Chain A
């Protein structure tokens, strides 16, 4: 602990990030530029999420870190250890016991409550980026609320695949104003974006922070005749039997053997324990 300032970052950096978070909360869905720092991990490993977490953590917090729903994968373990070492905070794998949850590409199955904070790691914060490579242009499109291009993309999905094929990072509209990338969560998780917890999004390489205050109206883009549909593998979890949770497909041998298990390891383990 003595080797680092609390939560690793220096105070000047934390103030800069904190100001960006407040602006993000004041303008839900708008991507606030911030001066992202080099972190002791490569871009793409959650440098944005880590900086946001460092700026909001207090010594009283209990931190949970998940990677694709799992507490025990490399990314989650290393970020959890990072904050144990640099902030001295308690850590947990229980969704209900955490006050701050940093996540890569999932929202926990258990509904989050008021007072909790969920921090998303975001690779590409700009939902229009793959449609329009110019930052000058996408910024203008957000300013003018010109989101026709996004609807064309979803329409082309339908005309090519017969359905909206976008399965993750499914674009949403926030409070009827900004189109936002919810980070690469499966579209199964999109309905949960309407929640009681504070949601913060950090993109380190792209230097953007955005936020959703609790109870913000978040609508997944769709068409009247092709309404938004959250999808999941049509199976029950092989471990806990849940038919309502998001599932990972696991290849078990070279002969086509496979099983489906919950992506949220805490949810699954809790159900298995309760059943035993």
Chain B
């Protein structure tokens, strides 16, 4: 599961839906993998305003990744004057699209439920009493 996806995923339980603590989910015993993806500058630009950068920084810290910039990069930083992709764009691409959780757990900060991740797929099936 790409870190991009984790920046949008919340706890699935109804009781957690409107609580701030249910996002972001916290990785536990996470194994990371690097997956090569083709650079898609327009996609990164499209996603930039939607990212929750605070959650991104929390995630990077919890995964032991290098510290991220304090503020969300802005669209102007993605290409240089001649329109070439900048290092900022490449770093974002690596972080969001190529860094993935291969296995481990995702824990809700509100209810404590642990969603298992195996082969990159998170199990969000809830037993009916938890729906």
Bound pair: A and B?
no
| Contact surface of B with A, Cβ cutoff 8 Å | none
